[in-house]
Structure 1
Amino acid sequence: MVFVQRWRVITAFALVGAATQLVWLTYAPVTTVAAEHFGVSESAIGWLANMFPLLYVLLAVPAGIALDRWFRPSLIAGAVLTAIGAALRLLDGGFAIVLIGQTVVAVAQPLVLNAITGIAGHYLDEKDRPTGIAVGTASTFAGMAAAFVLGAALPTESQLTTLTAVGAIFAAVAAVALTVELMRAGTGPSASTSTSVAALRATLGDRYVRRLCVAVFFPFGTFVALATYGQALLEPSGVSADAASIVLLVNVVAGVVGCAVLPVAVLRRGIELPAVMVGLTASAAACLLVALAPGLVTGALAFVLIGLTLLPALPIVLAMAERHTGAAEGTAAGLIWMTGNLGGLVVAGLTGLLVDRPALAFALCAATTILGVPLALRLRRPGATI
């Protein structure tokens, strides 16, 4: 019974994780329609999503500290704020109220995503934690995929309110489910007792954690860059917008599958570093392939390979952090997510400058991804000096 109850907590958390990403990307697949509906530019609609990584960089560490000190109430607050922000977008206030709603969810997101390692550490036995972390991570990519699917199913201006309502209802149901399950389960058998200051000092002073953060900077940035500019980069080779959307959706679906399956097998066999390095090398090769031979077939092959091999590196690194840091897993996860989002801003920014030269842009993504290999190699000796 206890085993079932703990996995109910993980399942409810996965729903909230998916909800944060679904709400984040609500308007991304229907940018043009949303811009016409609200009477603003497409760039303004873009900022409804772009604010999320920016606020994550600012709030990742404070959210991690809050989770280390007050895990259950902080996570509940993240779930509830996500539901509130999603619901606010349904009020009759035009673009301004939608912006406010998105901002509330962006503030809540670090409290949810930083808890991926913590929810496993608090409520699962050690042998089950890799599976819990994999499920939590996969749920975020599942939320992204759901946003693209819903955008394709409800693409018109008359359906925009329905599209927004679906996200709000899902977020509310997920928040209620997680709150109920957390209250039933209590604080969990492995609840942290560390103070926020002690957790922050210990984590910032940990060379191994710093190396984990550096190792995800460029690969995470590559994924963000390709997700942001994939359609524009494939268009010059004759790939239509609809076909590119399908390619990007399949990329995320492949990531969901990869995150749900590969990390568990890898962590149980103790081959984390080889798996990460193989994934980075394969993803760099995929980027290079589409740089040299752009087209629908090569693009689809490359993006599927990236989803299967690059995205699972995140739950593997998060599991390594949880295993290493113990009570400070929230702060460590916050630092890793913050560094990844910083990488996204940097690599996506550079890729955006090359959007009219897709071969160079894909080559840049290949180079930034392969940079992760020597950085990952530094994780072999956690006690070594930097």
Structure 2
Amino acid sequence: MRTQPQNLVLIGGGHSHAILLRMWQLHTLADVRLKLLSNTEKTPYSGMLPAHVAGLYTYDETHINLPPLAQQAQAEFYSDQAVGLDLKHKQIFCLNRPPLTFDKVSIDIGSTPAMFTVPGAKDYAVPAKPVSVFLQYWYQFLETVEASPQQGRTLAIVGGGAGGVELALNMQQRLQQLGDQVSIHLFQRERELLLDKGKWVRQHLASLLEKRGIKLHLGEAVSEVFPDKLVCESGFTLETDLIFWVTQASAPTWIKESGLATDERGFILVNDYLQSLSHPFVFAAGDIATMVNHPRPKAGVFAVRQGKPLFQNLQRTILGKPLKPYHPQKNYLSLIGTGDESAIASWGNLGCHSPLLWRWKDQIDRKFMAQFPD
């Protein structure tokens, strides 16, 4: 007797799901209807995005085209955004289309900067994610500067972690090609940048930012955002033309509202199999997931490495086989591009800055993207 086909729905086109789809091409399963639900057809590769901001890569070089990737994996592609989950009836609510039903579901939708705690931030600042929105504002700002390069402008970046620092350096590198009339300000609540990096890396990057003319505001917590300025808890006020928000990651509210077990920030709690603690038919990877036994930073390197074990365990759960645990590495090499075809390597307390590191990073990133030809 022929079994009923199982519906496996992938929500989001993040790094883990991109790798899963590539692997599915080579190892398809009979009687499985694979579907990809994504609110964007081209998903960015985070490792190359800052260099795209600097003008070192084109848009297409830094984005994975999802519809052909899904087609090659014999998956149906749905261009829409998930806005809710009915775990009892196994349905995904979408923004524009009827609900999608599933037997198993995997969630890889990334994260967005937390903006709800600061009045005005959600209305007047531009989050670094979703990337499509961020790039739209960045391109528009570049066009404005190009149209009148002699006019003075002020750009603010809120968040002094790796994302904010790398963005500041790459933006400065691109903007200096258009003149020297844009002032860049970087705000960090703490007294130091990149608190998760070693002392040498922290000090070297602070020095490099100042050398590039980027004004650092350390120990300044932004308390309110207006259309044309931001205000700090200290009372310091800066008039701005554009504000980019690159603070602590947050999850969409519908994840927690669905009834999935989450951590205090709303990210899905998963076990060593990348499987939900509360609902075993739900899997999650990338920024949206928190491994309870192996908490790690929200970084693209972990999303990339979760792709293979996610693929394996989804196939094994469909086939009724025992799942295989995944144990992420404790330490990882962080490569921070400085926008000038050079990069800084950070490993524990060690650090190094060299153009050779950029060439190495470029090779790694291009090799990753070569897996996903259009």
Which TM-score bucket, shorter chain as reference? under 0.3
Tell which structure's C-alpha radius of gyration is larger: 2
Give the number of the structure with larger relative contact order, counting CA–CA contacts within 8 Å between residues 6 or more apart. Answer: 1
- The alignment's TM-score, normalised by the length of structure 1, stands at 0.26
Richer in strand (by share): 2
